[in-house]
A and B are shown apart, each in its own frame.
Chain A
Amino acid sequence: MPAAVELIDVAFSYPGHAPTLTGVRLVVREGEFLAVAGPNGGGKSTLLRLMLGLERPSSGAALLYGEPAHRASVRPRVGYLPQRARVGIGAPVTVHELVTAGRAAVERPFGPLSAAGRQRVEAAVEEVGLSSVARRPVAQLSGGQQQRAFLAKLLAADPRLIALDEPTTGVDVDAQERLAELLCELHSRHGVTILYVSHEFGAIEGHVQRLVLVRGGIVFDGPIGQLPQVWHDPSHHHGREGSHACPSS
């Protein structure tokens, strides 16, 4: 599989601060389900932002599908769900409007949504099970429904890569399990590359193929089951053994 993301000897520091990350070497293959974990302030969100080209390395190179991440031509097919995603405006954005906004980068810049685009929006809303509330303002929905609405926004662009930063913060267990199912479906059936940043995996743990532990740099990179005991944290083991098999594709 070609590399979806490649970080080559990357270091990064915010202006006036000590280095957040140093000596990072990482290759994420297309179609991988990668989890990024680590303590608060360890640099996991920064690592994700570097992978997406939202930050530029202080040294080294960040590549997205072989191109410099900040100007990669694949970016319209990259979906990013930031930490604590919420509707950032005061106007009552409906689920349909939010998901339609997800097509902004893949549609032509001017004019109305294409017929194919309209169909994709409807399908994305249906995929996350929100068709019955598609015309309701997102702010009126439960936390789990809001999270699914944001996921539908990403799906509407037919993404090749989805990056989620702490997506389960403030979401109940049922909603976490629903999210895990949706991501599993995307990964196994559609081959979407998934980058999942969290300090707590819960329902998603059984689906993750590879774990990267970040603490100022990458201190562990491998299958989640091979995580050395010294790095174990009780919060990483909420998953129920054998209960998270992906549906066969």
Chain B
Amino acid sequence: MKLAFAAGLVVGVVAPAVGFFLVERRMSLIGDGIGHTAFAGVALAQLLGLDPVLTALVVSVAGALVMELLHSRGGAVGDQALAFLLYTSMAAAVVLASAARAVNAGLFAYLFGSILTVEPGTVLKMSAAGALVLAVIAALYRRLLAVALDEEAARACGLPVLGLNLLVAVLAALTVALSMRTVGLLLVAALMVLPVLAAGRLARSVRSTLLIAMALGALSAVGGLSLSWVSDLAPGGTIVLVAAGLYLLSLGAGLVRRRVTV
């Protein structure tokens, strides 16, 4: 159980940190698209006998890059690139999984998570990947924020906007891959988005939004795991439901604060 909490904490902290830059670019559902792509990667791994996490990582990075390029260079407007990626990768996942005769409980473990069976080596790899993601965000924070605030102004002053957006997409793919065993591919996007939405209601600056989002993500992971342990519920789903509950609480807190301020 200690390993499960450690894995949950890593994902709880890292997912909102990356999700912040997706939410603020009005691309909240990208994590969902990347999760579906990773699912196609897992199915491909089953078919070819490859390492599922590594294959999912490679495929989801490729998917994230394709989506970003379709959006920025391919003329896909609004959520067209996301829709393309989501449906194509889901269809590919179904076809590949059935070809591999792998539509079974093992596949569901990736879709919905299996945090209670996580091994020490996996937690170590997750922690290393999570630390890398956070280090990149911390190092490039000012530039990432400038692009999130205003892409046009960032482009005008020569910032490598496409490169920074591609980087965020790759970080999102890495986060999805490291979250596969905790909340699962279908729910990982929720941990990238819900804590950020909740934090936006409570914080008074961008920096505090980011930090509160990471704290709420960790709280969701620990709270959800504890609740699932006590009540014998599915851990992945419970973690996300706790995150959703925290979001609803933040809405209430935001309303109260607004009334007090007025």
Contact = CB atoms under 8 A, between A and B. Distances in A.
B114 to A, nearest CB: 33
Given A88-B150, A92-B205, A97-B206, A54 B158 contact: no
Interface stretch (A31-39, A99-107, A169-177, A211-219): A99-107
Contacts of A76: 157-158
Contact of A97 (B140, B154, B157, B207): B207
A46 B206 CA distance: 32
A82 B152 contact: yes
B159 A104 contact: yes
A102 B145 CA distance: 10
A162 to B, nearest CB: 10
A155 to B, nearest CB: 13
Interface string A113-139: 100000000000000000000010100
A153 B152 CA distance: 14
A82 B158 contact: no
A180 interface: no
A80 B156 CA distance: 6
Contacts of B205: 91-94, 97, 135, 137
A105 B155 CA distance: 10
A146 B168 CA distance: 28
Contacts, number: 103
Nearest to A98: B149
Interface in B190-220: 197, 199-200, 203-207, 209-210
Contact of A104 (B20, B143, B200): B143
A87 interface: yes
A105 B206 contact: no
B1 interface: no
B11 to A, nearest CB: 21
B158 A78 contact: yes
B259 to A, nearest CB: 16
A91 B200 contact: yes
Interface in B12-71: 20, 23-25
A93 B149 contact: yes
A163 B197 CA distance: 34
Given A76-B158, A101-B146, A104-B146, A92 B153 contact: no
Contacts of B139: 109-111
A98 B200 CA distance: 16
Q: Assign chain B's interface to a size class.
A: 20 to 34
A119 to B, nearest CB: 16
A76 to B, nearest CB: 5
B148 interface: yes
B142 interface: yes
A81 B148 CA distance: 15
A94 B148 contact: no
Given A91-B209, A97-B207, A101-B146, A109 B153 contact: no
Given A93-B205, A104-B159, 20 more contacts: A54-B155, A76-B158, A78-B156, A79-B157, A80-B152, A80-B153, A80-B157, A85-B150, A85-B153, A87-B149, A89-B149, A90-B24, A92-B203, A92-B205, A92-B206, A101-B142, A104-B146, A105-B154, A105-B158, A111-B139
Q: Please provide the 7 A-B residue pairs with the shortest distance between their CB atoms, ordered closest to farther.
A: A75-B158, A80-B156, A104-B146, A89-B24, A91-B209, A105-B157, A101-B146
Interface of B: 20, 23-25, 139-140, 142-143, 145-146, 148-159, 197, 199-200, 203-207, 209-210
Interface of A: 52-54, 72, 75-82, 85, 87-94, 97-98, 100-105, 107, 109-111, 113, 135, 137, 153, 157, 163
24 contacts: A54-B156, A78-B156, A79-B153, A81-B153, A82-B152, A88-B149, A89-B206, A90-B23, A91-B24, A91-B200, A92-B203, A94-B206, A97-B145, A97-B205, A97-B207, A101-B146, A101-B149, A104-B143, A104-B145, A104-B146, A104-B154, A105-B157, A109-B140, A113-B142
